[in-house]
Amino acid sequence: MVGRSLASILAFALVATSVSTSRVLHDARPRHLILIVVDTLRRDHVSAYGGRVPTPNIDRLAARGQRFTNVLASFHQTSMSMGALFSGRTPSLESGRRAEPLHWNGRHWCGLARFAEGADDPCLPPSLPTLAEAMREAGYRTVAVVSNEFLYRPAGFDRGFDVWREVGESPTGAADDGFAAKRARAAAHVNRSVGAVLDREVSAPLFLYVHYMDAHDWDLHGSYAEAVVVQDRGIGALLADLSRRGVLDAARVVLTADHGEALGEQHALPGTHGHVGDPSFEPLLEIPLIVAPPVGIESSRFLRTEDVFRLLRRWAGLAGGRGRDLERDELYLSEASYQTYRQGRWKSMRRRASGALHLFDLDADPGEERNVALRHADIARRHVHRLGEIERTLAASGVRSTTLSESDAARLKVLGYLQ
């Protein structure tokens, strides 16, 4: 592990001093709302959650706030999970035909095609009010600095932001798509862009959304753990800068991830690697959610990415927002080859092609290594029935599924999904 520099230590101390005098308490509406999303950050790699990777800056935030311990990503991939966070809806590739989900492309990869009203709608359709639009309605100046190409225009995530900054290489330009592209979206560049924006924006109440990619681009740092350490330093630098500007002491900070990462774990079904999922085992789904100062919600409450949308609205003084696709204790992932469903301790994965169902008891088998569908046939039948209901509810019927466009392919190539 690379040791912290003197500058990092001083920045960390500055943050500690500032947050200790925070004027924001519990559910009072804060002057500023700050949303930090760390791409691909596993909960078990944050030391505030007992992980062995040292993350002192995140830990400091947790120490003056609240750690939520039962939070799952709504999908294993950025555009789907962020589609959930920005809309409060469950992402889905359902077409109405179980064995023929929508193809993976820029129009469908937010998982919200069922809300599209026209052939030219982006993947975050205009019919869905966005998180940024809600924050603007609540009276905030809305600012975003993002570094994941899935979120870049014209996907629709920029709708509602007064200031929208994209950090890194354009996915449709003639940029180097290797390590140079990853270095261009590192935390230092993200923070520099945040600072440049805030030089002009701090007079108004702010909703600030910052999206980091260092954990996602962990091959730049030799290991996933080392990338998390680097990411933690970047977050510390951001918080120190916000403190210096007088923003932090009047802010509620929300730190979370879009999804986790598979790091060689062996499960009952093959195929999961990186954060591609399909099917999605727990390491891809278990994410941190840290809110500072603390809020009046039980820390063990089951939450999904789509629920963070409602919480942010609530903290901005708005109602939770209309439209809920699942029961509060359910998780559903509409994947290309599998349909994954979880309720409480029971989690099932149904293969689209054959209909075969794997059932796991997460209390007895947290590693998801043993299929107990035959032993617990009543629960398996209940899951099959519920999967059918959800499949129909989330179907984008009548949507024509197309293959990747050249711009879609370029975007995937910059992110490392295509060679």
Higher pLDDT, 329 or 14: 329
Please give the angle made by the CA atoms of 116, 285 and 240, to the nearest 5 degrees.
95
Taking the C-alpha atoms of residue 385 and residue 93, their distance in angstroms, rounded to an integer, is 19
The answer to whether 254 touches 308, Cβ cutoff 8 Å, is yes
pLDDT of residue 376: 98
pLDDT of residue 27: 58
At residue 227, what are phi and psi to the nearest 5 degrees? -65, -35
Asked if the model's pLDDT at residue 24 lies above 70, the reply is no
**Taking the alpha carbons of 331, 231, 160, 155 in that order, is the dihedral positive or negative?**
negative
Diameter over CA atoms, the chain: 62
Share of the chain above pLDDT 70, in %: 85
Place of tokens 């950090």: 167
Close Cβ partners of 9 (under 8 Å, ≥ 6 residues apart): none
R_g over Cα of the chain: 21
pLDDT of residue 272: 59
Q: How far is CA 103 from each of CA 92, 309, 401, rounded to the nearest angstrom?
A: 11, 26, 6
Helices (H), 49-170: 56-63, 78-87, 131-137
Q: Bridge-partner residues for 144, per DSSP?
A: 164, 209
Higher pLDDT, 377 or 174: 377
Asked if the model's pLDDT at residue 175 lies above 70, the reply is no
Pairing verdict, β 330-334 and 303-304: unpaired
Residue type, 236: G
pLDDT of residue 276: 75
Higher pLDDT, 16 or 68: 68
pLDDT of residue 9: 41
Residue type, 294: P
pLDDT of residue 417: 56
pLDDT of residue 402: 62
pLDDT of residue 70: 98
Asked if the model's pLDDT at residue 122 lies above 70, the reply is yes
pLDDT digits (tens, 9 = 90+) for 177-234: 578 889 999 999 999 999 999 999 878 999 999 999 999 999 999 999 999 999 999 9
Asked if the model's pLDDT at residue 273 lies above 70, the reply is no
pLDDT of residue 48: 98
The model's confidence at residue 412, banded by pLDDT at 50, 70 and 90, is: low
pLDDT of residue 106: 72
Q: Which domains does the chain have, with CATH numbers?
A: 6-331 (3.40.720.10)
**Cβ count within 10 A of residue 225:** 17
What value does the mean pLDDT of the chain take?
89
- The pTM of this model reads 0.89
pLDDT digits (tens, 9 = 90+) for 348-365: 999 999 999 999 999 999
DSSP state letters, 268-298: SSS---BT--SS--GGGTB--EEEES--SS-
Higher pLDDT, 230 or 401: 230
Task: Verify cis geometry, omega within 30 degrees of 0, for the bond prior to 122.
Answer: no
pLDDT of residue 4: 44
| Lowest-pLDDT range of 77-81, 177-181, 262-266 | 177-181
**Average confidence (pLDDT) over 386-399:** 92
The model's confidence at residue 319, banded by pLDDT at 50, 70 and 90, is: confident
The model's confidence at residue 381, banded by pLDDT at 50, 70 and 90, is: very high
Taking the C-alpha atoms of residue 305 and residue 287, their distance in angstroms, rounded to an integer, is 9
pLDDT of residue 414: 61
pLDDT of residue 404: 62
Asked if the model's pLDDT at residue 397 lies above 90, the reply is no
Share of the chain above pLDDT 90, in %: 76
At residue 264, what are phi and psi to the nearest 5 degrees? 90, 5
| Lowest-pLDDT range of 2-6, 45-49, 186-190, 388-392 | 2-6
Comparing C-alpha atoms, which of 123, 125, 117, 86 is closest to residue 102? 123
**Average confidence (pLDDT) over 135-158:** 96
DSSP state letters, 38-68: ETT--GGGSGGGT-SS--HHHHHHHHTSEEE
pLDDT of residue 19: 41
pLDDT of residue 120: 85
Token code pair at residue 377: 């046939």
Place of tokens 């003084």: 317
pLDDT of residue 169: 67
Helix axes 56-63, 224-244, angle to 10 degrees: 50
